[in-house]
A = this chain, B = another copy of it.
Amino acid sequence: MSNVYGTLFKISTFGESHGPAIGVVIDGCPAGLTVDESFIQLELDRRKPGQSKITTQRKEDDTFKILSGMFEGKTTGTPIALVIENQDQRSKDYSHIAEAFRPSHADYTYEAKYGNRDYRGGGRSSARETAARVAAGAIAKLLLKKHNIEINAFVSQVGEIVAPHYTTLDLSKTEDNIVRCPDAATAQTMIDFIDQVRLDRDTVGGVVTCVIKNTPVGLGEPVFDKLHAELGKAMLGINAVKGFEYGSGFEGVRLRGSQHNDEFYNDGTRIRTKTNFSGGIQGGISNGEDIYFNVAFKPVATIMQDQPSVDKHGNETTVSGKGRHDPCVVPRAVPIVEAMAALVLADFLMRDKAGKL
């Protein structure tokens, strides 16, 4: 199994949802970067459960401890190990999922592949693992800030409710509401809808849109490691993600070349494009325009309803919905999307630097 991500800015996450701790080792962060630990905490708080009425009501204080790689407030270039203890490891009754496979979860495939599986709360397949990514992503963000690169994700769709195009929005308002949609009216509709879904003991899917501003021209590599290919892999590696598109995406299919091509012009300081169907990336390499992409999340698989299923012996059984779960994952997915984007950008920044004569 590989749990390592990145080429030069490399992370290795570990931990199960109900083991002693989860965490991450960041290997490759340049030395001399000032790390504000409160910023990491802030990012973790954006992801943590229990933050609003439309997220799971589980309470977890995702407080972390840095074990290495820092000295006098700055990175040393050595691996940064960061650990988040699991507070709630009490031996709850997990018998209902120890044997039975929850529909559309990873229970069955893990069991089939590995044989020995920590079923408690999903174990390694739990989205709890993403806290480690958010912490690592926070450090990547600090590195990107030195290059003026800004990453802003937001909720652009919940069920059938779709927000306006990002270019019409003020992305600084994303944190103004609990669903993390910068358009106040759409946000309210989304919140009301998620609340209704929750009352229905059901769940619903959504889309997170991510916008990256001020990327220098030249990030990404042209064949297999195209900037958008790596962003795609990073996003598709997040739990519950079903699709990724950038720039014109699936809609672009319907256009003609004469409509879709982005005309170059010189704005007096640099070469730019008049439109941006390319999504800031041409031939796999950033062109200096906004990078933007959409990430589709399926409805959360855990619903508060009884569902027929099969147990590990192949017998029919019923899986009951228990515990407190998110009716819609996208509000909490926003910082995860940003974190993974930050890790991709940081890695390509370093790779680009390495490739200069």
Q: A222 at interface (Cβ–Cβ under 8 A)?
A: yes
Q: A22 at interface (Cβ–Cβ under 8 A)?
A: yes
List, in ascending order, chain B residues with CB within 8 A of A236's CB.
226, 228-229, 232-233, 244
How many identical subunits does the complex contain?
4
In the complex, residue of chain B having the shortest beta-carbon distance to the beta carbon of A80: B14
Beta-carbon contact of B104 and A1 below 8 Å: no
Q: A50 at interface (Cβ–Cβ under 8 A)?
A: no
In the complex, residue of chain B having the shortest beta-carbon distance to the beta carbon of A103: B261
Beta-carbon contact of B80 and A224 below 8 Å: no
User: Which of A29-37, A165-173, A181-189 lies at the binding interface?
Assistant: A29-37
Q: A137 at interface (Cβ–Cβ under 8 A)?
A: no
Within 8 A of B (CB), among A3-42: 3-5, 7-8, 10, 12-16, 19-23, 25, 27-28, 30-33
List, in ascending order, chain B residues with CB within 8 A of A108's CB.
264, 271, 282, 287
Beta-carbon contact of B30 and A257 below 8 Å: no
Beta-carbon contact of A106 and B284 below 8 Å: yes
Q: A206 at interface (Cβ–Cβ under 8 A)?
A: yes
Within the assembled complex, what's the spacing in Å between the Cα atoms of A12 and B22? 15
Within the assembled complex, what's the spacing in Å between the Cα atoms of A246 and B65? 37
A114-B77, A116-B77, A237-B229 given; A245·B106 CB < 8 A: no
Q: A203 at interface (Cβ–Cβ under 8 A)?
A: yes
A62-96, CB under 8 A of B: which get 1 and which 0? 00011111011011111111010000000000000
A16-B78, A83-B67, A253-B296 given; A103·B2 CB < 8 A: no
Most buried by B among A143, A283, A305: A283
Within 8 A of B (CB), among A105-160: 105-110, 112-118, 123-125, 129, 143, 146, 157, 159-160
Least distance between A211 CB and chain B CB atoms (Å): 16
Contact of A204 among B159, B257, B357 (CB under 8 A): B257
Q: A249 at interface (Cβ–Cβ under 8 A)?
A: yes
Beta-carbon contact of A1 and B32 below 8 Å: no
Within 8 A of B (CB), among A182-229: 197, 200, 202-207, 217-218, 220-226, 228-229
Contact of A303 among B16, B77, B258, B287 (CB under 8 A): B258
Beta-carbon contact of A68 and B109 below 8 Å: no
Beta-carbon contact of A106 and B316 below 8 Å: no
Within the assembled complex, what's the spacing in Å between the Cα atoms of A350 and B116? 19
User: Which of A53-61, A307-315, A331-339 lies at the binding interface?
Assistant: A307-315
Give the 9 A-B residue pairs with the shortest CB-CB distance, closest first. Answer: A106-B283, A243-B245, A203-B257, A354-B354, A109-B285, A233-B233, A205-B253, A229-B236, A14-B79
Pairs across A and B, CB under 8 Å, 12 listed: A75-B116, A103-B261, A106-B283, A106-B284, A109-B218, A109-B286, A113-B352, A202-B258, A203-B257, A207-B253, A242-B249, A351-B354
